[in-house]
Structure 1
Amino acid sequence: MNLTIDHQSTIPLHIQVENLLRELIKQPEYQAGKLLPNEMELSRILAISRTTLRQAINKLVYEELLVRKKRLGTKVAHQKMSSKSMNWLSFTQEMEARGVTIKNYELHVSWVFPDEQVANFFDIKPDKKVMKLERLRGNPQEPFVYFVSYFHPRIGLTSDDDFKRPLYEMLEQEHYVVATLSKEEISARTADRFIANKLEIEVDSPILFRKRFVFDQAERPIEYNLGYYKAESFVYTVESKRTP
């Protein structure tokens, strides 16, 4: 893209630069995370003062289109993914409904002895193994959520099941288990070393933690799910209606 502005135009320089930056950050390489040219270089290329350049950049930072990283530079802000509590869907279905392409970065299946919380939720003995599913997911540019799911043994899941499919669709079509009710607990916390490594963030960075309890049509527990979301990439929206 040609980085030029018209110094003879009646349009103020900072407005021209702002419009130029809006077009620049639409380019695939910047959407993918490439840093913008540094302020000194941009000022030289456009033949403007750094004050004028900063005025334009500050406007886009205020609009949350750009983000500044100390000692790194300026880059396109991550588009925040949104999840709503109404019309509950699987994560894959939620993202597909918003036109977001999902990439599985990691997928691990194992059989483990449940801890006390999982055993109590399923009402089983702690010496009975349950299936554990771990998935690191995100968009094509980066991972933004790490899921850990435990499933009740009666479902009959095996490592041969296709967990790349939408989870609740697979449960219904392959195991005749219909996920009907979800109860959730949402909290804010900081990332420990393990989660920080998964989400490619700094230790102690803020994350959104969601605990989900899933039940079938008979209100029997089927899934105990933990979700760790990169805070800068995700917004959780709650819709409520007041009964007259």
Structure 2
Amino acid sequence: MKLEINHKSTIPLHQQAEELLRKMIEQEDYKNGKLLPNEVQLSEQLKISRNTLRQAINKLVFEGSLSRKKGYGTKVVRKGVASGIKNWLSFSQEMKMLGIEVRNFELHLSYKKATDEIANFFDITSNERCLALERVRGNQEYPFVYFVSYFSPEVALDSDCNFNRPLYELLEKDLNIIVKTSKEEISASLANDFISEKLDIKSSDPILIRKRFVYDVNDIPIEYNVGYYRADSFTYTIEAQR
């Protein structure tokens, strides 16, 4: 990849260098751990001072895109799963955007009595049973999230449905249910014995718990979902504008 600074541009040199670095680290070899050229080589290639280049590198280090170790070099930070609230997506959509091939490590269906919280959400009695979908999901190497979803008894899902398909695609194409709104709660905790076994971590390791309350286009509650994420593999971002 040819890196070139426009010295006649009104854009500051360090900003141009920053944008070039962002494009550079999107290349697969750098994503896979290849070290960036050292500062002397890069500054000579870009025809800028090392201080100007360092300013650009520092910005990417500060935001977590690069890591730098004295005597070793600078490399791309391996990203965990990132999610946010600007435009909510299904888990499958989030993973697709990140280029992660999802693997189901476990998938279970059962009918469980609704807890008080679930019953209040669906406006049903606590004794009523809901279809519960439990899945342990991750990349091709290891699991990083355990999901349990409860569905309103009004939703005609059953064991004949193909739950290996993306869930919201299944709801829309098979049942004509279009989900629209997700209200979320995020909290932190330690993994207990049950969760640690599911996610292949220690029971004392930290996890993030993400609750989703999902509604359709008519604001009818459809899904009550709880996800237990390995904290070393999940980042939740919030973008706010004033």
For residues 132-147 of structure 1, what are the structure 2 equivalents within 5 Å?
132-147=132-147
Secondary structure of the structure 2 residue equivalent to 1:195 = helix
- Judged with a 3 Å threshold, the aligned counterparts in structure 2 of structure 1 residues 128 and 64 are, in CA distance, closer, same or farther, namely same
Offset from partner CA, 1:39-84 (integer Å, 9 cap, x none): xxxxxxxxxxxxxxx9546x67xx685xxxxxxxxxxxx6311112
Code of the residue aligned with 1:140 in structure 2: it is: Q
Aligned residues with identical type, % of pairs: 47
Code of the residue aligned with 1:115 in structure 2: it is: T
The aligned counterpart of 2:167 is 167
Counterparts of 2:83 and 2:70, CA distance in 1 = 34
> For the Cα contact (< 8 Å) 2:190–2:203, is it kept in 1?
yes
Q: How high is the TM-score relative to the length of structure 1?
A: 0.68
- Judged with a 3 Å threshold, the aligned counterparts in structure 2 of structure 1 residues 129 and 81 are, in CA distance, closer, same or farther, namely same
Counterparts of 2:200 and 2:85, CA distance in 1 = 27
Secondary structure of the structure 2 residue equivalent to 1:223 = strand
Pairwise CA distance, 1:241: 2.1
Q: How high is the TM-score relative to the length of structure 2?
A: 0.69
Pairwise CA distance, 1:175: 0.8
Q: What is the aligned length?
A: 179
Offset from partner CA, 1:128-186 (integer Å, 9 cap, x none): 21000000000001000110000001111001111111111110111111111000000
The aligned counterpart of 2:219 is 219
Runs of 4+ in 1 over 6 A off after TM superposition: none
Structure 2 unmatched runs, 5+: 1-28, 35-68
Code of the residue aligned with 1:227 in structure 2: it is: G
Counterparts of 2:166 and 2:240, CA distance in 1 = 26
Counterparts of 2:71 and 2:188, CA distance in 1 = 33
- How well do the aligned residues superpose, as a CA RMSD in angstroms? 2.1
Secondary structure of the structure 2 residue equivalent to 1:232 = coil
The aligned counterpart of 1:232 is 232
Counterparts of 2:179 and 2:228, CA distance in 1 = 21
For residues 99-138 of structure 1, what are the structure 2 equivalents within 5 Å?
99-138=99-138
Secondary structure of the structure 2 residue equivalent to 1:161 = coil
The aligned counterpart of 2:65 is none
Counterparts of 2:138 and 2:81, CA distance in 1 = 10
